[in-house]
Structure formats: C-alpha cells, structure tokens
C-alpha cells in the first residue's frame, strides 16, 4: 500500500474507536467519568504535505547525525592533542575536546531528535487503555501455594528431625565467619599508632620551602612557616603517612600577646609550633590571620586562637590544636623537645 | 495490504529472516509469550515520567565511559615522577593513579572528553534520581503496590552517592584526597569500632598505599554491580505494576491510558537515550569538570580553600560544617559528638524519606492498590512533609557551601553558619506550615472552581446596576478530574468496650495512629471536596437568577 | 553664528558661560597638576623623600600619624618598608575609605607610580624594611613552575584556592582572588603580609621560592591559561559544577523531556 493511503484509511476507524470509548453522559452524577475524549487528528494525519515535511525533517536529522559522526572521526584523526583554541565566550580550551564533544553530542542528539520527531508526528497517537489486573493472587491460587508449601515442608521433615535442623542452622550460621576472619587481613590493629608522630627530642624543624633547618631569627612576627621533622624526605616510602601526622605550622607572636601560660612555656621567644592537622577531621589547617592570630580550617571552618593555646573559638572541632614543645639546640637551630603530648588530628574513641 | 494466500505461502515457505530468527529464539527462550504481554504495553505520556529514564540513561552512559576509563587508569598509589605533557606538574612526585588520570586528560586522544562525560553524567545521574524520587513522593506513586520499588529506588540513590564518592576519590588529587581524609576523620569518630574500621579501610594509617586500589574495586565492581541488579529489578517492577497515571477522563484505577511500547515508546524512549547522551556530550565539550591538574597531587599536609565534595555529598558536608564541636571525654575514652552526630543525622534524614510510605500506609490503614497519582495539593500533610524534608536537604547544601556563599554574597562565614544552624531547625517547620496552607488554599480554589465554574474575566452589568463576573461552568471532563480523588476520613479510637462488656485497653500505637490520622485528614487539614448535591443546588440556583 | 549672537542676551547666558569657564579651569588643572608633581622624579633622593612627606601629610597622616607612628585608626608604618607602601597604595587599598568593612578592599589606584615611589621613599626613611622588588626578582626567567606549584599548594592555596581564585576567612574577611594582580604586587604581598595575610619573608621563603610561585600563578591563572575542558565555572570546584549540572544539565534534559512527552499540535477542525 502506498503511504498516501494511510491517513484516509485510518481516519474513520480511529474516530469510531474514540466514540466508542466515551462514557454515557450522566444526568445523575455530573462528576462521573465521561470516558476518554474523542481522538483528535494531528495536522500530519490529515495533511499529507505536512506528513512529508515531517518525514523530511526526520531524515534531515539522521543525515546531520551521520555528518557529525564523520566530523568526529576527522577531528580525532586530524586535530593535534595539545592544540589550544580560543572560543568566545568559553576561553582557551582544548580543540580536540571541543571538537570531539560537539560532534559526538550532535551525532547522538540528532538520532534522538529524529526518532522522537518521527514518533510524535508520524506514528499513531491514538491513546489506548490497557486493563490492569490485581497483583495479589486469587484465593484459590493462594490456598494451593500454601498447601504445596506445607506438603513440601512436611516431606522434608525439617520440623520433626530437630537434630538435623539445629545442626544445619549452626553450620550455616558459622560458615560466614570464615569470610569475616579473612577481612582481618585488610589492616593492622590500631595499637598506639595514632598516638605517635615522627617528632622526638632533638629533631630539628626543617622549613618545607627551603628544606633547611630553621633558626629562631628566620621566623619573623606575623610570618607563617611550615616545617617537618629533620630526616623526612619526600621520596621516602612512608612520607605521606608521616607528614599526615607530623606537619607543623610555625608562627611568631609577641610573648606578651600569648595568653595561655603553657603555650608560652612551650614556645621559644614567642615562636610557637602547632600541629597543622585539624582536630576535627584532619584537614591541614593553616588559614592564619596574622592580626587576629586566628587559624581557620578551609574544610569545615573550625577556628582556633593561636594566641590562646590554639583553643577552638568557632566551628565543629572539639579540642585545641596540639602544640609541639620547641627549643634551640647547641648550634642555634630550632628543635623539638619531644613528641606531641597528645594525639594529633581527628579525635577517636581510644583518645581519652 | 497483502492478500491472505500470500501471507500463508510466506509463513510456509520463505518467511522473512527476522521472523525465522524470532521463531528459532521462541523455541528456546519463549520470547513470544514475553512479547505478547509487553510489546504493546501501554505507557502514559507525561514529562515527569521520563525523569527515571534520565537516570537510567545517564547510568548507562556512566558504565560505557567508565569501562573506557578503566583501560587507561592505574589504581595504584606508587609514587612516580611526572613527565607527561602538562607543564606545571613536570617532575612532581605523585601517585600512579594521579599521573594516569593526567595521562587520560592530556595524552589519550578523546580521553578528557570521556572523563568529563563520565563525571558530568554522574552529577546528572544523582540529580536525576533526586528529582525522580521527589516526583514519586509528591504524587504518591510510592503507595501500594509500589512500596518495594520505592525502596529499590531509594537504595539506588544511596548507593549512587557512595559510588560517586569512591569514583571522585580515585584520581588521588588534592581535592578528593581532602575528602578521603574527611571520611577517615568521620570513621574515627565512631565509638568503639572507629579506629579499627579506619585501619582496615586504609590498610593501616591514613593515607597508606591501599585505598585507591580498594576504592577502585568498590567503585567499578561492587557498588555498580549491586546497582545494576537493583536497576533491573526496578524496571521489571515498573513493567509488572504498569505505570501510574494522573487522573482524567477515561482514566481509572483499573486501567492505564497511553500509547503502546511498540512503536511509539520504543522510538520515544530509545530516542530519549540518544538525547540524554547528546546533551551530556555537549556539556562535556563546553564545560570543564574536576580539573585535577589544577589541583595537584594529594599530600596530607596541603589543602585548598573551597574544599567541597561533589554536590550529592554536599548535604552531609553541610551537616558536618554547622555542627558545634561537642566532644565528651570519660574513662579514658572520647565520644566525638561533633562528627558522630552529623554522621548519624545523615543516615536518619535519608531514612526518614525512605520509610515515609510505610508510615503513611499505617496512618491511612488503606490496603487497596493506587495507580492514579495524587495532585500534591490533595495530600497536604504529605506534601508539607516532603517540602520540609527538601528544606532540610537544601539547608545542608547551603551549609556545605557556606564559604562560597560568604565570599560571593559578601557575608561573614560565621553569620552564614549561624543562619544555617538556625535554619536546620526553623526551616523545615516553616516550610511545613507554609506548604500545608498553600495546599489547602489550592484545594479551596478547586472546590470553588467546581461549584462556581471558571472565572472568565468578563464583567457583566445586570439590569439593576450590579456588576458580576461571568463564571463559565466546567466541562464534565474537568469536573471529573477535579473531584475524582479519594479523601480519607480521620480515624477514631474504636469502642473501648467489646460486645461482652469487657473493657479493652487502647494501645499507645493506636492512640498515636488516631492522632496522626487527624493531623492528616481532620477537619482543618483537608477541604472536603464538593458533593453532587452541592453542585446541583448551586447550578440550579444559578438557573433561577 | 547668528543664532549664537541672538541668544547672547538670554537670561541664562551668564550661567552657561560660568559653567563653561568652571569646566575649563577644572580640566586644565586636571591636565597640568599631576604633570607638575611628576617633575619631582628627576630630583635627588632627599627631594623625593620630601615630596613623599608632603603626599603623606595629605593622604595618610590622618590615620597613621604625622610621623608614621600610627594611631587608633591605623598601624605604625615605621619599618614596614617601601614594598608595603608600593603594595598598599599600588593596589588602591590605601588610602582606605573612612568607613571600612571587615577588611580594606583593593580599588582603583589614585596615585601615579612616581608619587607612590615618593611615598615609599619617605616611609622607608622612617625605618628599615623590605624594599620594592626588581623585575629580575619577580620575572619569569629561570623560574621552576612545578616547584612553584608545590610551594603554592603548601603556603598559599589554603586561603587563595588551588589556582588563586580566592576564598573566605573568618568574620567577613577574605583572601582575594589573585587573578590579574601584578607579579610585583604578589611578590610584595608575600614579603610584607598585608592586613591579615601572614608574611613569607626571605628567611623562610627564599627569593627563588617567590619567583617560582609567581611563575606558577601566571601559568595556571594568567590571561593565556588554557582550560582544556571548557568553561572554568569560576575554578571554584564542585559547588559551581553541581549548580551547573543541575541548571544546565538536568534543566536541559527536563526541557527535552517536556518536548518528548508533549502532545503534538492537533489539526483544528474548521
């Protein structure tokens, strides 16, 4: 049959169908369901020219998609990977990423748009009602299943032979423990690992910028310096684990600005060394405001007052930043006078 | 149309190849019985019914692009010196994970595009699931028989969050590493087991050498495997239950009105996959996401301001940011409430929306199936609860971005945090009250519309000088649509004395149920819909005018 | 011409002439006044300091005291050095507005470089401090960009973001964006620690370190910086990415879904 015949052939049938679905107008109940409204034809259903236009549109979209795919292949083969182009208003971007993304996007989008346009304008748009059926089984089926199950259970004698039942449950309950045991290999027990850092008496404070040990005169009031323990190298296997605990933040205050007595005792000429690891969840905290002596954590905004024992003055951290007790060795370099006296970083159950 | 003899000869002799293959498969798989039930299955048309498809398609896109990325990504934390084509990181020490991600971004042709499609699709997948879930919630599509499918969907959302988070952590860049550090801190806050779980997850102390490889198998195998299974189950149930529909003429609880799967939905849904993929590919072409080269490799002593997780974890991030720093020390132990409470709240807030369908069905005591969707206004208490829940969620998102809100609106970060702290408590309450009032107002409007007709905006002067606005009576279709919803009666405490005169104890749960039922369906909590009698009285009254 | 002479006697003519005269005088003053001061350039060091002192008395003394000793409205400037003056005045932070918020923002600089140099010379004469860096110190020659990146992430990114987009500090203070800031001013800021920024003196952050940092910033946040993936979205990380995904990603997809599910136009029966 020719495509021209479709609308005319379908017209009367559809209209009959639609009329059939309309409910009887109810004089008694004005709110009653009038039934599905009669089907209305689209322009494409009655005007063959409009249908042809739709067809051409769909074909055009599919053709654009093909061209875009060719464009993708050409872009992939031709554009150098490191070529940068300026596209207004995006800026300087990778030519490859832009070309591949756009061609792929167009190729895919046009397939979708073509299919949807086809469905919307040329495929039948008659709404059909489908019956629903209750999900629950009928009482007969229900009774049959129950009876079958009881028969099966009885034949297995699981209820009667208690010894089998109990040992089977026991065996099934125990066997997953093997799997749980195997998980033990995932990691070591915590032990006291979280309590110690690399700092120890006599370890020099090494400037992270220059890799040189720090002298007190290097550290000016209002400056901010980060230090690690002498002997820690970036190339070391356990560098990440060690620096995660040992990272140090060094500032110098006027000794008369230090409000906390212990902080003053543990400082050297106003130079104080605090753990750089936030006591909340462990972000490297170092947003130091030299006029207020506050440090802010960029992750969750805990704020500590470095002039008052690094006490928490805002935010979700639960306790002060640990301070490292420092002094000067015989050669005039800043050195630690021991490890931190409390665990650094986030609090944990065994911390106490 | 071909004639009957022709058709017969075809089926006997030279049937088309497709038909023969189908026959072959049917003999082994029984596909004809399956197709009989589903090929012309009816799906109703509504844009909001396609939100689930957005999720499914973006999930497929994520799997496709993710498989491609695994061909180049090295899930290893071995330190290497970088010598690829990105100049500002030349000679830097970094993990293989990070350097292979740089390799994908700069040296694999099209690698950056696939990475960006993967990440954008992930953000859209989660956003799509959130909106889809809210659509299902506010229209009451979670009611019997779909409660289990609601839970499947909820699990997909939660698993999606963790799949996203583990993927975000894989490149081992400075931003995601900070997120992993936060995860470690949060795990450490768990009483008793925290330190053990942390040691087991990271294979020792943070960061160790294992987490990328472990997150990798979780990200590409464990979680997506479960999600794929859940998604298939979710889809099977959608087919089995048949889709819900909005009320309207010809639509009932016993039918579903729409267009058949073959061909209309095959073309629309199939086409929609390409549309979704096309849009995401175009976004990946023009907008950069997660430029790990700008962030640098992870080091536990470095950080950047504006350290946030991807948006779907923003709610958890917010909870952590605005929680006060409570910490209790006792008997040599520390209870880190400042971190642990947000962790618990995170689970509770999510659980609240997950269990809501069961609470509502307990309150209504309704055991029947529901396939006609509610308009949100016709379930004011549910809608108000939903909006309150969304408010809590949004407050969390604002809290999670408090620093950027502060800098971009020139506010104090402390003020933003305090605003969010107060909003966490006040926001949902206000949202609940306001939403409920709006719903009731809309119900009243529907009520008036049914009884008095549509306001036409035409003013008429009566002979005696009075001005009236002409109201046009609604059609029967409209009348039916506006009055077909079911209204529950508030529950009452049954007789406390049984037929033998024995007094029965009223349980606390029964009392609670009656209370809740009154809060849902009591006098001031829904507007009774107009009755036929009211309508007739008023319309006949109009006639007398 | 005729028209003009005809209106000469208009009652408002005098006012117009007066306005024109005022505008001309003001314009002439504006044109010549700075030029006059710029001549001080060529004079000797002591004259420079003298000129600087005059500028100081007009623009700075009300807050920082007549001799730079400071007051309740502004800190002492003794020993802050020429670098601090060049930064503060060169970025327009000083002189500050009388009513300021949590911190003094950068704004349009109202002095010429010559005037700033005079002011700097005067302040430097009050007490020794860091001097204005030379182009050789902050220029890109011989800088190690990758090392600069590592230093930037250790020392700067916590406040200024990975690539110097800025970030929040406590109580409304903020670390400003480093986009478009002159290398010299970045160098001076590290040296002197303006406002709440800590200083990074040469003793703890060497000259080479600073050079590397500036070179890194220029590479990742300069006018020629490439963002290979497309729109940078502010370079602020997941918050803006999330907003973009919701608005343009999901938004576009919902718009598409509306089109897919919408009813096709019906033929009107006529």
Task: Band the pLDDT of A8: cuts 50, 70, 90.
Answer: very low
The residue among A209, A272, A274 with the most chain C CBs within 10 A of its CB, best to mutate, is: A209
What is C28-126's CATH superfamily?
Cytochrome c-like domain (1.10.760.10)
Residues 6+ apart with CB under 8 A from B396: B314, B315, B316, B317, B318, B319, B349, B424
Question: What is the average pLDDT value for chain C, to the nearest integer?
Answer: 85
Whole-number percent of chain A with pLDDT over 70? 92
> Shortest CB distance from A43 goes to which of C159, C196, C267?
C267
Contacting residues of B for A311, CB less than 8 Å apart: none
Q: Inspect the interface and report whether the beta carbons of B305 and C219 lie closer than 8 Å.
A: no
Q: Inspect the interface and report whether the beta carbons of B127 and C250 lie closer than 8 Å.
A: yes
* Whole-complex ipTM: 0.91
Residue B293: CATH number of its domain: 1.20.810.10
* A135 domain residue, yes or no: no
Q: What local confidence, expressed as pLDDT, does residue A24 receive?
A: 45
* A147 domain residue, yes or no: no
Asked if C238 is an interface residue toward chain A (Cβ–Cβ < 8 A), one would say no
Residues 6+ apart with CB under 8 A from A120: B268, C260, C262, C264
In this model, does residue A6 exceed pLDDT 90?
A: no
What is the Cα gyration radius of chain C? 27
Higher-confidence residue of A154 and B493: namely: A154
Provide φ and ψ at A211, rounded to 5°.
65, 20
CATH 1.10.760.10 residue ranges of chain C are: 28-126, 135-223
In this model, does residue A27 exceed pLDDT 80?
A: no
Chains interfacing with C (3 or more CB pairs < 8 Å): A, B
Q: What local confidence, expressed as pLDDT, does residue C224 receive?
A: 86
The residue among C237, C240, C262 with the most chain B CBs within 10 A of its CB, best to mutate, is: C237
Chains interfacing with B (3 or more CB pairs < 8 Å): A, C
Query: Nearest-CA distance from B525 to chain A in Å?
Result: 23
Tokens of C220: 């990742």
Query: Nearest-CA distance from C6 to chain A in Å?
Result: 55
Q: What local confidence, expressed as pLDDT, does residue C45 receive?
A: 75
Average pLDDT over residues C65-86: 87
pLDDT digits (tens, 9 = 90+) for C87-122: 999 998 888 876 667 888 888 888 899 899 988 999
Residue in C closest to A292 by C-alpha = C196
Task: Band the pLDDT of B468: cuts 50, 70, 90.
Answer: confident
Q: What local confidence, expressed as pLDDT, does residue A177 receive?
A: 96
Tokens of B310: 């991807």
SS3 sequence of chain A: CCCCHHHHHHHHHHHHHHHHHECCCCCCCCCCCCECCCCCCEHHHHCHHHHHHHHHHHHHHHHHHHHHHHHHHHHHHHCCCCCEEEECCCEEEEHHHHHHHHHHHHHHHHHHHHHHHHHHHCCCCCCEEEECCCCCCCHHHHHHHHHHHHHHHHHHCCCCCHHHHHHHHHHHHHCHHHHHHHHHHHCCCCCCHHHCCCCCCCCEEEECCCCCECCHHHCCCCEEEEEEECCCCCCCCCHHHHHHHHCEEEEECCHHHCCCHHHHHCCECCEEEEECECCCCCCECCEEECCCCEEECCCCCCEEECCCCCEEEECCCCCCCCEECEEECCCCCEEECCCCCCCCCCCCCCCC
Task: Band the pLDDT of B12: cuts 50, 70, 90.
Answer: low
The residue among B48, B93, B287 with the most chain C CBs within 10 A of its CB, best to mutate, is: B287
Per-window interface: B 160-219 vs C, CB < 8 A: 174-175
Same domain for A324 and A205, yes or no, is yes
* A350 domain residue, yes or no: no
Task: Band the pLDDT of B269: cuts 50, 70, 90.
Answer: very high
Same domain for A204 and A315, yes or no, is yes
Q: What local confidence, expressed as pLDDT, does residue A5 receive?
A: 39
Residue in C closest to A206 by C-alpha = C204
- Euclidean distance between the first and final Cα of chain B, in Å? 60
| The domain defined by C135-223 carries CATH number 1.10.645.10 | no
* B346 domain residue, yes or no: no
* A233 domain residue, yes or no: yes
Per-window interface: B 251-290 vs C, CB < 8 A: 268, 271-272, 275-276, 279-280, 283-290
Task: Band the pLDDT of A307: cuts 50, 70, 90.
Answer: very high
* B26 domain residue, yes or no: no
Asked if B229 is an interface residue toward chain C (Cβ–Cβ < 8 A), one would say no
* A126 domain residue, yes or no: no
Sign of the torsion formed by the C-alpha atoms of A137, A143, A148 and A153: positive
- Euclidean distance between the first and final Cα of chain A, in Å? 87
Whole-number percent of chain B with pLDDT over 70? 97
Task: Band the pLDDT of C25: cuts 50, 70, 90.
Answer: low
pLDDT digits (tens, 9 = 90+) for B21-74: 999 999 999 999 989 888 888 999 999 999 999 999 999 999 999 999 999 999
User: Which of A74, A92, A121 lies at the terminal end of a domain, its last residue?
Assistant: A121
* B426 domain residue, yes or no: no
Q: Which domain holds residue A301?
A: 196-336
The residue among B304, B397, B406 with the most chain C CBs within 10 A of its CB, best to mutate, is: B304
The residue among C242, C244, C255 with the most chain B CBs within 10 A of its CB, best to mutate, is: C242
Chains interfacing with A (3 or more CB pairs < 8 Å): B, C
Q: How many CB atoms lie within 10 A of CB A37?
A: 15
Asked if A186 is an interface residue toward chain B (Cβ–Cβ < 8 A), one would say yes
* A37 domain residue, yes or no: yes
Residues 6+ apart with CB under 8 A from C45: C121
* A348 domain residue, yes or no: no
Q: Which domain holds residue B83?
A: 39-316
Tokens of C71: 């007051």
Q: What local confidence, expressed as pLDDT, does residue A22 receive?
A: 41
Q: What local confidence, expressed as pLDDT, does residue B532 receive?
A: 86
Q: What local confidence, expressed as pLDDT, does residue C8 receive?
A: 63
In this model, does residue B469 exceed pLDDT 80?
A: yes
Higher-confidence residue of A179 and B537: namely: A179
Contacting residues of A for C230, CB less than 8 Å apart: 90, 93, 97-98, 101
Task: Band the pLDDT of C62: cuts 50, 70, 90.
Answer: confident
> Shortest CB distance from B302 goes to which of C102, C153, C263?
C153
User: Which of A87, A102, A121 lies at the terminal end of a domain, its last residue?
Assistant: A121
CA angle A123, A126, A131 (to 5 degrees): 120
Contacting residues of A for B324, CB less than 8 Å apart: 316
In this model, does residue A318 exceed pLDDT 80?
A: yes
Whole-number percent of chain B with pLDDT over 90? 78
Q: Within a 13 Å sphere around the CA of B370, how many CA atoms are in the beta-carbon half?
A: 21
CA distance B509 to B493: 11
Asked if B318 is an interface residue toward chain C (Cβ–Cβ < 8 A), one would say no
Q: What local confidence, expressed as pLDDT, does residue C50 receive?
A: 87
Least confident of A26-35, B220-229, B292-301: A26-35
> Shortest CB distance from C168 goes to which of B46, B174, B305?
B305
User: Is the bond into B543 cis (omega within 30 degrees of 0)?
Assistant: no
Residues 6+ apart with CB under 8 A from A320: A279, A304, A309, A310, A311, A312
Least confident of A7-11, B127-131, B436-440, C262-266: A7-11
Query: Nearest-CA distance from B6 to chain A in Å?
Result: 15
Task: Band the pLDDT of C4: cuts 50, 70, 90.
Answer: low
DSSP character string of C71-107: BTTB---TT-HHHHHHHHHHTT-SSPPSS--SSPPP-
Average pLDDT over residues C53-60: 88
Q: Inspect the interface and report whether the beta carbons of A318 and B254 lie closer than 8 Å.
A: no
* A109 domain residue, yes or no: yes
Per-window interface: C 150-189 vs A, CB < 8 A: 151, 154-155, 158-159, 167, 169-170, 173, 175
Asked if C259 is an interface residue toward chain A (Cβ–Cβ < 8 A), one would say yes
Q: What local confidence, expressed as pLDDT, does residue C33 receive?
A: 47
Average pLDDT over residues C120-139: 89
B and C: number of Cβ contacts within 8 A: 203
In this model, does residue A26 exceed pLDDT 60?
A: no
Average pLDDT over residues B223-240: 96
Asked if A244 is an interface residue toward chain B (Cβ–Cβ < 8 A), one would say yes
Residue A221: CATH number of its domain: 2.102.10.10
How many structural domains comprise chain B? 1
Average pLDDT over residues A35-40: 89
Contacting residues of A for B257, CB less than 8 Å apart: 36, 127-130
Least confident of A77-91, B172-186, B452-466: B452-466
Residue in B closest to C166 by C-alpha = B305
The residue among B190, B319, B325 with the most chain A CBs within 10 A of its CB, best to mutate, is: B325
Q: Inspect the interface and report whether the beta carbons of B205 and A317 lie closer than 8 Å.
A: no
Contacting residues of A for B119, CB less than 8 Å apart: none
Asked if C249 is an interface residue toward chain A (Cβ–Cβ < 8 A), one would say no
A and C: number of Cβ contacts within 8 A: 126
Task: Band the pLDDT of C27: cuts 50, 70, 90.
Answer: low
Q: Inspect the interface and report whether the beta carbons of B306 and C165 lie closer than 8 Å.
A: yes
Task: Band the pLDDT of B348: cuts 50, 70, 90.
Answer: very high
Return the closest-CA partner of residue A101 out of B111, C255, B57, C244. Answer: B111
How many structural domains comprise chain A? 2
User: Which of A92, A121, A150 lies at the terminal end of a domain, its last residue?
Assistant: A121
In this model, does residue B545 exceed pLDDT 80?
A: no
Contacting residues of B for A205, CB less than 8 Å apart: none
Average pLDDT over residues B375-379: 95
Query: Nearest-CA distance from B243 to chain C in Å?
Result: 15
């Amino acid at each position: 049959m020719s495509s021209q015949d479709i609308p005319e052939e379908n017209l009367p049938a559809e209209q009959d169908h639609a009329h059939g679905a309309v409910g009887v107008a109810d004089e008694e109940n004005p709110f009653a369901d009038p039934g599905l409204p009669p089907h209305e034809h689209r322009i494409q259903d009655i005007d063959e020219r409009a249908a042809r236009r739709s067809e051409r549109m769909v074909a055009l979209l599919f053709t654009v998609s093909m061209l875009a795919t060719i464009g993708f292949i050409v872009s992939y083969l031709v554009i150098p990977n490191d070529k940068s182009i300026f596209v207004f208003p995006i800026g300087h971007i990778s030519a490859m990423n832009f070309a591949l993304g756009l061609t792929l996007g167009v190729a895919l989008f046009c397939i979708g748009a073509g299919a949807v346009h086809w469905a919307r304008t040329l495929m039948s748009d008659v709404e059909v009602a489908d019956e629903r059926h209750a999900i629950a089984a009928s009482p007969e089926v229900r009774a049959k299943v129950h009876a079958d199950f009881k028969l099966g259970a009885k034949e297995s004698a699981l209820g009667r032979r208690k010894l089998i039942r109990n040992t089977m449950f026991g065996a099934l309950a125990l066997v997953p423990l093997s799997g749980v045991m195997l998980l033990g290999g995932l990691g070591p027990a915590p032990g006291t690992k979280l309590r110690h850092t690399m700092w120890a008496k006599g370890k020099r404070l090494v400037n992270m910028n220059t890799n040189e040990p720090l002298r007190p005169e290097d550290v000016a009031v209002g400056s901010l310096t980060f230090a690690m323990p002498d002997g820690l190298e970036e190339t070391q296997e356990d560098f990440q684990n060690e620096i995660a605990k040992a990272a140090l933040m060094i500032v110098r205050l006027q000794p008369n600005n230090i409000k906390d007595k212990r902080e003053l005792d543990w400082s050297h000429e106003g130079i104080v060394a605090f753990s750089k690891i936030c006591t909340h969840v462990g972000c490297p905290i170092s947003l130091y405001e030299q006029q207020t002596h506050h440090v802010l954590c960029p992750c969750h905004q805990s704020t500590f007052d470095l002039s008052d024992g690094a006490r928490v003055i805002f935010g979700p951290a639960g306790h002060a930043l640990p301070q490292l007790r420092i002094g000067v060795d015989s050669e005039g370099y800043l050195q630690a006078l021991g490890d931190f006296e409390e665990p650094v970083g986030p609090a944990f159950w065994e911390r106490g | 149309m071909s004639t009957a003899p022709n058709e017969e000869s075809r089926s006997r002799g030279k049937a088309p190849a497709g038909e023969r293959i189908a026959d072959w498969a049917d003999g082994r798989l029984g596909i004809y019985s399956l197709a009989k039930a589903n090929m012309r299955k009816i799906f109703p048309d509504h844009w909001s019914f396609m939100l689930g498809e957005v999720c499914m398609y973006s999930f497929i896109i994520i799997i496709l692009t993710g498989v491609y990325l695994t061909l180049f990504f090295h899930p290893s934390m071995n330190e290497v010196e970088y010598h690829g084509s990105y100049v500002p990181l030349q000679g830097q020490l970094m993990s293989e994970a990070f350097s292979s991600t740089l390799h994908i971004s700069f040296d694999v042709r099209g690698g950056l595009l696939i990475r960006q499609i993967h990440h954008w699709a992930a953000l859209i997948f989660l956003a799509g699931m959130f909106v889809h879930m809210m659509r299902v919630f506010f229209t009451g599509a979670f009611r019997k028989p779909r409660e289990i499918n609601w839970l499947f969907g909820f699990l997909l959302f939660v698993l999606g969050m963790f799949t996203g988070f583990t993927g975000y952590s894989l490149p081992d860049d400075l931003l995601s590493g900070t997120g992993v550090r936060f995860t470690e801190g949060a795990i450490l806050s768990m009483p008793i087991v925290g330190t053990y779980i942390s040691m087991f997850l990271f294979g020792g102390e943070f960061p160790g050498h294992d987490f990328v490889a472990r997150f990798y198998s979780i990200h590409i195998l464990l979680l997506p495997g479960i999600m794929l299974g859940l998604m298939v189950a979710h889809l099977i149930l959608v087919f089995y239950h048949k889709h819900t529909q909005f009320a309207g003429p010809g639509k009932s609880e016993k039918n579903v009105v729409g267009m058949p799967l073959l061909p209309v939905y095959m073309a629309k849904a199939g086409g929609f996959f390409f549309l979704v993929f096309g849009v995401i590919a175009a976004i990946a072409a023009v907008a950069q996401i997660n430029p790990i080269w700008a962030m640098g490799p992870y080091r536990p002593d470095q950080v950047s301001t504006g350290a946030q997780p991807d948006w779907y974890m923003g709610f958890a991030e917010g909870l952590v940011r605005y929680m006060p720093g409570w910490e209790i020390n006792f008997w040599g132990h520390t209870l880190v409430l400042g971190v642990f409470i947000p962790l618990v709240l995170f689970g509770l807030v999510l659980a609240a929306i997950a269990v809501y369908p069961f609470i509502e069905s307990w309150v209504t005591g309704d055991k029947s199936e529901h396939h006609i969707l509610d308009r949100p206004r016709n379930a004011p208490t549910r809608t108000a609860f939903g909006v309150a829940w969304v408010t809590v969620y949004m407050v969390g998102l604002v809290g999670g971005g408090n620093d950027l809100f502060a800098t971009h609106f020139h506010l104090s970060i402390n003020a933003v945090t305090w605003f969010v702290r107060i909003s966490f408590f006040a926001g949902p309450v206000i949202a609940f009250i306001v939403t409920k009032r709006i719903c009731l107002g809309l119900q009243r409007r529907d009520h008036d519309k049914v009884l008095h007709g549509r306001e036409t905006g035409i003013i008429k002067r009566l002979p005696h000088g009075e001005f009236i606005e002409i109201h046009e009576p609604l059609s029967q279709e409209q009348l039916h649509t506006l009055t077909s919803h079911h209204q529950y009666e508030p529950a009452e405490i049954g007789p406390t004395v049984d037929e033998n005169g024995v007094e029965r104890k009223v349980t606390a749960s029964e009392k609670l149920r009656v209370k809740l039922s009154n809060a849902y369906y009591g006098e001031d909590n829904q507007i009774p819909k107009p009755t036929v009698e009211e309508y007739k009285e008023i319309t006949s009254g109009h006639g007398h005018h | 011409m005729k028209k003009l002479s005809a209106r000469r006697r208009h009652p408002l003519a005098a006012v117009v002439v007066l306005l024109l005269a005022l505008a001309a005088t003001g314009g002439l003053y504006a044109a010549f006044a700075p030029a006059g001061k710029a001549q001080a350039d060529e004079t000797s060091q002591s004259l420079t300091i003298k000129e600087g002192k005059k500028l100081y008395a007009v623009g700075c003394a009300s807050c920082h005291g007549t001799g730079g000793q400071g007051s309740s409205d502004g800190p002492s400037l003794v020993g802050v050095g020429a670098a601090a003056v060049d930064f503060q005045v060169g970025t327009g932070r000083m002189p500050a507005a009388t009513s300021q918020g949590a911190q003094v923002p950068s704004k349009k600089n109202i002095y010429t470089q010559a005037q700033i140099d005079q002011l700097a010379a005067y302040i430097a004469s009050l007490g020794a401090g860091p001097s204005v860096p030379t182009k050789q110190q902050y220029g890109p020659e011989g800088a190690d960009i990758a090392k600069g990146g590592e230093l930037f992430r250790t020392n700067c990114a916590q406040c200024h973001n990975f690539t110097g987009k800025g970030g929040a500090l406590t109580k409304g203070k903020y670390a400003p964006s480093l986009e478009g800031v002159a290398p010299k001013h970045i160098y001076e800021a590290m040296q002197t620690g303006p406002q709440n920024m800590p200083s990074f003196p040469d003793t703890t952050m060497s000259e080479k370190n600073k050079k590397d940092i500036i070179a890194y910033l220029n590479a990742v946040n300069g006018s020629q910086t490439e963002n290979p993936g497309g729109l940078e979205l502010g370079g602020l990380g997941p918050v803006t990415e999330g907003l973009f995904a919701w608005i343009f990603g999901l938004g576009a997809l919902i718009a598409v879904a509306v089109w897919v599910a919408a009813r096709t136009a019906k033929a009107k029966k006529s």
